Amino acid sequence: MIWLILFLSPVIFSLPTVIAWTYRRNLSISSVVGLLISLAVTIYLYRMPEGFYTIPWLPSLGIEFRFVLDYLSKNMGVLTALIAFLIGIYSLEYMREDYRIGWYWFFFNLFTASMLLVVYSDNLLGLLIGWEGLGLASWALIGHWFRDDDELSYVGVLGRKVGPLKMFWSPSFAGWRAISTIRIGDMPMFLGIALIFALAGNLNVSQIDWNAVFTKIGLIGTTFLMISILMGPFTKSAQLPFSEWLMTAMTGPTTVSALLHSATMVAAGAYLFMRLSWYIQPWNYHELEPVYVFVLFLGLFSSLYGAIVALGCRERKVLLASSTLSSLGIMFAVTSLSYWVGKIAIVIAFIYLIVHAFAKATLFLVAGHLIHATHNRFCCGNLELTKRMKLAFLATVLSTLCLSGIPPFTAYWVKSGMDAILHEVSHHLGQTPMIIFVLIALTYSAFLAKFLSLNFLKGERAKLHLHGERLMPTSYTIMVLTLLPLAYVLYLKFFREGLETSSILVGILVTLTYVVGIVKPTHESKIGQALGDRLYLMALNDLIVPKVGWFFALLSYYFDRAVDLFTHSSIPEMFEELSKAVRRIQSGVLTRYVRIVIGIVFAIILIAGWFEWRF
């Protein structure tokens, strides 16, 4: 009953909102109650002992609903439910006048329930149900404003083009792009899970005999299997080259962006990689080295790309989306280090996920409030706005300080832990990962400072349309305040690492770039424009892939026409002419048959004579 309440209460309690919406009534509070119940259940589960809980499902196949309570699931469950609840409170005010309030709340709560199923499922088939629920809900929420009739819901500048590239995207298009991109990774992931079941006869992550599986298929087979499974997390978490859907997903309501970028959807990919690594224990299998080296550098380059792109972004939510890509890349890269240093790398990556979730949810909710107040998607605001929106300003200052890695704030301590394990693996991988990591840290600090400066200090003057909002600032204030006790906990955990010379040096450099970002948040240049245009990576989605697709579609079309011509026209016509010829011969006149036989005999004699003369 506890598990049913956890997963079903958000969906069930959203139904009164849906019904009331059909009668043009707003009963959003019912949906928030469902989120509150899930939060209460996750807190109850957090207090329970670690273990596994099983519900029979397909006993003939040995498949069951199997839920796990361990370090990862307990903390991730509370994190997901708490952030969803606070964003739900925020939504009561932010979405109050929306024209599809029933649609919004049903899929918002389904989003939360699906993520909780992913978090607690030990069985891969049960996890897939939640995984698919995330995909469906993301499509519905990213394309929520499907009418495409409000400029504020777009990404990019309406009407702008760079060569053949359209540089603006509508909500309906963004929803389609999200689910179609994710599907590219889901299909090989399904294949990998099916292969695991065929090899191990078990889909419970904690019970699979990974040693037997890897031994059966060898190095090449192991690499293929793991990359197939990880294609799902790569696309869900928007790692290169699948990052573009995450940027255009900003067409959805800001509340959706906050949930999607903090505790659901994109976090699901990183979380699944952590969970798999937690139970596979890659440090025991040399066959996994190519996979974990690949994930390390994919994560680092994805993170670096997201960070430098954020430097050029002017749209509030797109800038934050780029920063999420950067953070996700760090999570993948640090988790992959578990191959060399063990479980501690997974713990550090997971702690960073928690810090990022609270800070990024805060920044998105502040961005939503700013868009709501200024009627502008782009960064704008100066000291006048700061005076009018003090809580938003203070929340932005605290969250950027806590996320950038400035000592002694929250992320500094966890990044000191990352620094320590990167030093430890340097004799295996050289200094390249450390160099890239430092570049990411410096760039990350700069664009967070840019976000603060352009919205509250040195941006263009904004016209304010404040409506006496109370729930919105309350939600993001509570969200950001969670980072303060978390900073103390991390200080106790990583105190020694934080006092290392290298960590202090990086912390000083990060602080300097933060100050520079505050003082000079913009730099007009062609390079800055290219960064703001995300280095035109959208050409892959909007030009290259469609053209390749159309080429194969035309190839298939002409092949089909050729087969159709050959099988439905040429061969039947040939047999028809042959049939007519045979019918002309079969006249029933004996003399014609005699002439034909004589002609055939004469032809045989001529051919035989020619062969005898020739040879």
Tell me the pLDDT tens digit for each residue of 263-276: 888 899 999 999 99
Indicate the range of 162-171, 221-230, 288-297, 398-407 predicted with least confidence.
162-171
The yes-or-no verdict on residue 238 having pLDDT over 70 is: yes
Q: Are 236 and 269 in contact (CB under 8 A)?
A: yes
Mean pLDDT calculated for residue range 391-417: 94
The average pLDDT across 243-256 equals 93
The pLDDT, as a whole number, for residue 569 is 73
Tell which residue, 258, 279, 290, 135, has the closest CA to residue 206: 279
Residue with tokens 């602080």: 511
By DSSP bridging, strand 165-169 and strand 63-69 are unpaired
Asked if the model's pLDDT at residue 96 lies above 80, the reply is: yes
Q: Quick check: 303 and 326 in contact, CB under 8 A?
A: yes
pLDDT tens digits, 363-390: 999 999 999 999 999 999 999 999 999 9
- Any alpha helices (H) in 156-288, and if so which ranges? 171-200, 210-236, 244-248, 254-262, 266-280
Residue type (1 letter), 582: V
Sequence-distant (6+) residues with CB within 8 A of 373 are 389, 462, 464, 465, 466
483-499 pLDDT, tens digit per residue, is 999 998 998 889 899 98
Tokens, residue 387: 């005076």
Do 280 and 206 meet the contact criterion of CB atoms below 8 Å apart? no
Residue 126 has which token pair? 């049960």
Q: Is it the case that residue 407 has pLDDT exceeding 70?
A: yes
With bands split at pLDDT 50, 70 and 90, how would you rate the model's confidence at 416?
Answer: very high
Q: How far apart are CA 154 and CA 172, in angstroms?
A: 10
The reported pTM is: 0.90
Q: What is the mean pLDDT of residues 530-556?
A: 86
Report in angstroms the alpha-carbon separations of 221 from 158, 282, 288, 459, 518: 47, 15, 11, 54, 50
So what's the pLDDT on residue 559?
87
> What tokens does 344 get?
């501690």
Within 13 Å and on the Cβ side, how many CA atoms surround 391? 18
pLDDT above 80 for 25 = yes
Specify the residue for token string 């997390």. 233
Q: Please state, for a pLDDT cut of 70, what percent of the chain lies above it.
A: 97
Dig out the tokens for 353 from the structure.
């996920």
**Listed residue (281, 282, 275) closest to 77, CA to CA:** 275
Give the rounded percent of residues in the chain with a pLDDT score beyond 90: 68
Residues 606, 599: Cα–Cα separation, whole Å: 11
Identify the bridge partners of residue 307 per DSSP, sorted by sequence position: none
CA neighbor of 337 nearest in space, from 291, 383, 370, 382: 291
What average pLDDT does this structure show over 420-438? 92
Q: State residue 615's pLDDT score.
A: 63
Q: Which of 390, 345, 348, 339 is nearest to 369 (CA)?
A: 390
Say what angle helices 101-120 and 28-46 make with each other, to 10 degrees: 10
Longest dimension (CA), the chain: 115
> What are the structural domain ranges in the chain?
2-536, 548-614
pLDDT for 309: 94
**Averaged pLDDT score across all residues of the chain:** 90
Q: Tell me, what's the pLDDT at 60?
A: 73
CB atoms within 10 A of CB 158: 11
Our CA angle for 541, 546, 550, nearest 5°, is 170
Residue 549 pLDDT: 81
- CA nearest neighbour of 310 among 362, 273, 360: 360
Residue 359 to residue 42: CA distance in whole angstroms = 21
* pLDDT score of 586: 67
CB proximity list for 522: less than 8 A, separation 6 or greater? 450, 454, 528
326/411 Cα distance (integer angstroms): 14
User: Does residue 578 have a pLDDT over 90?
Assistant: no
Instruction: Give me Rg for the CA atoms of the chain.
Output: 31
pLDDT band at 614 (very low <50, low <70, confident <90, very high): low
Band the pLDDT of 213: cuts 50, 70, 90. very high
pLDDT in tens, 116-159: 999 999 999 889 999 999 999 999 999 999 999 889 999 999 88
What kind and span of H or E run contains 55?
strand 51-58
